């Protein structure tokens, strides 16, 4: 089941988000799914639906609303890529984190949620998931091929809850020197688990995308599922 909801931002405005509920086992832990540069599009909604089917309450906020509401584009045309990069360049990262924090607070109060909640993000969303690990009290966070994280490693000292990172070895947006900075800074962090996928490019988990890799995607998603279950559903010793 999918619902469109209104969330109040920290600065007195409102924005939209889409909530997906599992069919059984409620209340359930929640996940905030953080969009790529294409908005809350069909791919992101599909990710949400799949996660809901595995037993989570899932919410995807519209993070480009300060520029244009309800962006829903694809990676299939040059014009859409151009628009996506315009939106990325105009995006205020700090306000985006605040909007995700507002989304997290909203879904934790949902009667169908247990109160435990994490985030999972892709590309731009992967960077934001990292920042949610450094700036919020989310119970756990998952970053898929997050961009420009190497520029924000000084914040890693603030990571208090588990963070899983998936890095594409051949990522054209995260070159090897950036990857090495991330690995050097975070590999020994007690709350961070990093996986590097050899031979794959950015967005290897985007079904239907140019660089989709079935094997790497399956492996990353399997690791994520186990990680989320440990953090959000299993009783801790």
Chain segment 50-73, per-residue pLDDT in tens = 999 999 999 999 999 999 999 999
Question: What pLDDT score was predicted for residue 234?
Answer: 72
The pLDDT value recorded for residue 1 is 60
Instruction: Give CA angle at 131 (151, 219), nearest 5°.
Output: 95
Active site residue 171: yes
Neighbours of 69 (CB within 10 A): 11
Q: Which two tokens stand for residue 226?
A: 């186990």
CA 48 to chain centre: 11
User: Which among 139, 202, 211, 213 is annotated as catalytic?
Assistant: 202
Instruction: Report the CATH number of the 2-233 domain.
Output: 3.40.50.1820
How many Å apart are CA 44 and CA 46, to the nearest integer?
A: 5
> Other CB atoms closer than 10 Å to residue 70's CB: what's the count?
13
Q: What is the pLDDT of residues 133-165, one digit of tens each?
A: 999 999 999 999 999 999 999 999 999 999 999
Asked about 150 being catalytic, the answer comes back as no
The catalytic position among 171, 201, 211, 213 is 171
168, 194 in Cβ contact below 8 A? no
Would you state the pLDDT for residue 24? 83
Residue pLDDT, tens place only, 202-218: 999 999 999 999 999 99
- Report how far residue 88's alpha carbon sits from residue 93's, in angstroms, rounded to the nearest whole number: 9
pLDDT digit string, tens, across residues 104-124? 999 999 999 999 999 999 999
**Residue ranges per domain, the chain?**
2-233
Averaged confidence pLDDT in the chain: 96
What is the value of pTM for the model shown?
A: 0.96
Written in H, E and C, the secondary structure of the chain is CEEEEEEECCCCCEEEEEEECCCCCCCEEEEEEECECCECCHHHHHHHHHHHHCCCEEEEECCCCCCCCCCECCCCCHHHHHHHHHHHHCCCHHHHHHHHHHHHHHHHCCCCEEEEEEEEEECHHHHHHHHHHHHCCCCCEEEECCCCHHHHHHHHHHCCCCEEEEEECCCCCCCHHHHHHHHHHHCCCCCEEEEEECCCCCCCCCCCCCCCCHHHHHHHHHHHHHHHHHHHHCCCC
């Amino acid at each position: 089941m999918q619902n469109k909801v209104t969330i109040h931002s920290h600065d007195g405005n409102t924005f939209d988000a889409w909530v997906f509920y599992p069919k059984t086992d409620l209340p359930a832990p929640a996940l905030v799914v953080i969009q790529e540069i294409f908005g809350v599009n069909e791919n992101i909604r599909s990710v949400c639906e799949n996660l809901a089917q595995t037993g989570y309450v899932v919410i995807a906020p519209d993070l480009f609303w300060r520029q244009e509401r309800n962006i829903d584009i694809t990676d299939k045309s040059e014009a859409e890529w151009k628009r996506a990069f315009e939106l990325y360049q105009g995006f205020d990262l700090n306000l985006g984190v605040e909007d995700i924090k507002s989304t997290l607070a909203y879904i934790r109060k949902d009667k169908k949620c247990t109160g435990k909640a994490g985030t999972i993000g892709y590309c731009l969303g992967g960077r934001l998931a990292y920042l949610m690990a450094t700036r919020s009290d989310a119970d756990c966070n998952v970053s898929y091929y997050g961009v420009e994280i190497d520029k924000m490693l000084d914040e890693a000292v603030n990571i208090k809850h588990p963070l899983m990172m998936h890095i594409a070895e051949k990522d054209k947006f995260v070159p090897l020197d950036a990857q090495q900075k991330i690995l050097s800074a975070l590999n020994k962090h007690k709350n961070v688990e990093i996986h590097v996928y050899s031979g794959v490019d950015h967005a290897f988990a985007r079904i239907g995308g140019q660089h989709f890799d079935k094997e790497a995607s399956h492996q990353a998603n399997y690791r994520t599922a186990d990680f989320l279950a440990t953090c959000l559903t299993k009783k801790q010793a």
